[in-house]
Structure 1
């Protein structure tokens, strides 16, 4: 897949044969969220359920001329309770998506991460994956983790990689190329991140991490530019052709996400994955189009 338009078309094709997925939007009092969800409904992707303050939701919808009378709306003004209800509604279905509305990510995720949460899968890590369409790059680029795991250890990095590979495969990339980012392409004992990434690369080489080519440490330019890789003499299956960029700290991933959008004009979506169902975590600055893209991606991740 090279564009979000292709992903939308793929989602419509996949979902069309099975019927729309349940989408539960918590805190549905943002007009752009409601417009995006309504557009996704009209595309045949989702059957929405809203959980939150009815008065605020109807006010936001009224400004768009949307009629919520035929949309299921569960009234709950306490946000933590609203998230718990939304999680239960999602988990009651076999094909479903949870979507964040106008509620802080931290507040929502505190509930999602609670002990006993039905959204979590034992032994799996919840991680954030950003997906980017960048002008001049002939493929979609995934970046992780820029939103969930602050300073991952070796085991958590493996979880981050496995989740990102699963996303890429759901989007049609059967064997993605994973670059483990660092400042250099050489392993230095004085730079622990390069040591860890060398270990992970060997694990990938020996099949301990399946379904992808994995290499690192690699600097960003070597990971995505064949010219830079050639100039620096770095070969292999990943250098210059990476589909997935794995960062060592949340600040790097978060900064990369915002830099690509702010400076490079990238089209981007962000999701939390690794649970029983995908979670759409759009930003308030996202366009309606971005939010529709995110819903389409989530439909593919949820199995159509």
Structure 2
């Protein structure tokens, strides 16, 4: 968008301009960080005045900043410098309000180069006055035009999607979970933290001596927690799978052992936890700036899946998305391009998966592919490529061609885009929680919340005979 200022010579009394701005939670958090104003009245998770309600009141100085945006952007516009601002705040805005900031020229002092303007900020919904006052500015004398797209953007890093998952899982009964070899601080602390949040009821399998030593190192008490002494990781994993088969636990959780050591007994045809479909791994990712959780699959188990394995991967991901409250998951099947190319097998698989979903062979979601990464998640990219699809630019689930692409995508989102990742294996009789040593507390809690929500959904489906 090209903006052009109004110079001192062009201004006259009665000139008016306004800007509308939706004030989001992210805006308030960004302002708190930039200004250093950490008043808990303005934090989405804080009860700043002790009334029992979390506050997201927009700071008065932020409302005034929206007003100065009109002065510096529109009237007079580029080159304007504030000289004085006298305001009062009759009422308060809260995050989610759309604000209308309006200025009107009262007088122009061409000799001094000063312009005085009446200032008003109202709530768009009902006209409630939030700010009223008067501004004096040094008006620009030179014509300036500039492109607003040149302004760098900001992304607020927070855990809003994971916080929503935790809130959704909070009322559920704790999921009885076999935690295999929690013999390192990160593994044991993750399980105990999830217990503190009543997400899981852990059963600890591994070396009792090492588990006790780690608990002492963490300063945690294991009283009331069942510990099964199995120093051999292979035996501990087998025992955990047996507990799940017998219905004594509703989930498995990886501790300090290799993933294949945990999964090997789980995939055993005779004594394992096989269900109707192949096992597949799903990352549930909280990506800063993205309006919804993003599911990435499969980045951990199936190395080079064939078409029928991808059918299971897609269906598993749709089921998990449904369990998280995504009503009709939009699944983008990724390839290097968004057109079918016989020389590119992933593009053919993507097209077939899309058609299979059309014909009801994959149920519960909308599947489209092939899509390249850009036009799967970005509406502008999808429009530029001329793609008309309910999924393009809106994908909530990304299905990758193979484990290399999936692993790289998940780690790029984590380390370059500052996303958090919760990891769960789907397709077994019970959810299997896979945590990385690099996961922080929120990621570990979110993994347990995802498992609890999926377990509830799975039980509902079984009761319905589906």
| Aligned counterparts of 2:168 and 2:303: Cα–Cα separation in 1 | 33
Q: Is the 8 A contact 1:132 1:266 kept in 2?
A: yes
CA shift, 1:24, in A, is 0.9
Q: Tell me what 1:39 maps to.
A: 193
User: What is the rounded CA distance, in whole Å, between the counterparts of 1:185 and 1:204 in structure 2?
Assistant: 18
- The match for 2:170 is 12
Match of 1:232 among 385, 397, 408: 385
CA contact (8 A) 1:185 1:218 kept: yes
Q: CA deviation at 1:256?
A: 0.8
Match runs of 1:103-114 below 5 Å: 103-114=257-268
Query: Comparing both structures, which one devotes a greater share of its residues to strand?
Result: 2
Residue 273 (structure 1) aligns with? 426
Distance in 2, matches of 1:277 and 1:25, equals 13
Corresponding residue of 1:256: 409
Instruction: Provide the residue aligned with 1:73 in structure 2.
Output: 227
Partner of 1:99: 253
Distance in 2 (CA, whole Å) between partners of 1:255 and 1:21 is 31
CA distance in 2, matches of 1:94, 1:35: 23
2:291 match: secondary structure:
coil
> Which TM-score applies when normalising by structure 2?
0.62
Contact 1:229 1:240 in 2 (8 A): yes
Spell out the pairing of 1:149-168 with structure 2 (5 A cutoff).
149-168=302-321
SS across alignment from 1:241: coil
Q: Aligned with 1:23: secondary structure?
A: strand
Bigger RCO of structures 1 and 2 (CA < 8 A, at least 6 apart): 1
- In structure 1, what is the Cα distance between the partners aligned to 2:416 and 2:212? 36
By how many angstroms is 1:118 displaced?
Answer: 3.5
CA RMSD of aligned residues (A): 1.5
Distance, in Å, in 1 between the alignment partners of 2:348 and 2:201 is 47
Aligned position for 1:3: 161
Further displaced range: 91-100 or 289-298? 91-100
Cα pair 2:253 2:433 within 8 Å, conserved: yes
CA gap 1:285/1:20 in 2 versus in 1, 3 angstroms: same
Q: 3-state SS of the aligned residue for 1:173? A: coil
Residue by residue over 1:60-95, the C-alpha shift from the partner in whole angstroms, topping out at 9 and shown as x without a partner, is: 111111111321000001111110111112233376
- Once the two structures are TM-superposed, the CA of residue 239 in structure 1 deviates from its matched residue by 0.3
Note the C-alpha offset of 1:303.
1.0
Q: 2-side partners of 1:40 and 1:92: how far apart?
A: 23
Contact 1:27 1:102 in 2 (8 A): yes
Q: Distance in 1 between matches of 2:373 and 2:319?
A: 22
May I ask how many residue pairs the two structures share in their alignment?
299
Q: Check 1:2–1:220 CA distance in 2 against 1; reply closer, same or farther (3 A cut).
A: farther
Correspondence 1:97-246 to 2 at 5 A: 97-121=251-275, 123-246=276-399
The CA distance in 1 between the partners of 2:440 and 2:353, in whole Å, is 36
Unaligned runs of at least 5 residues, structure 2: 1-158, 458-466
Deviation at 1:228, TM superposition (A): 0.4
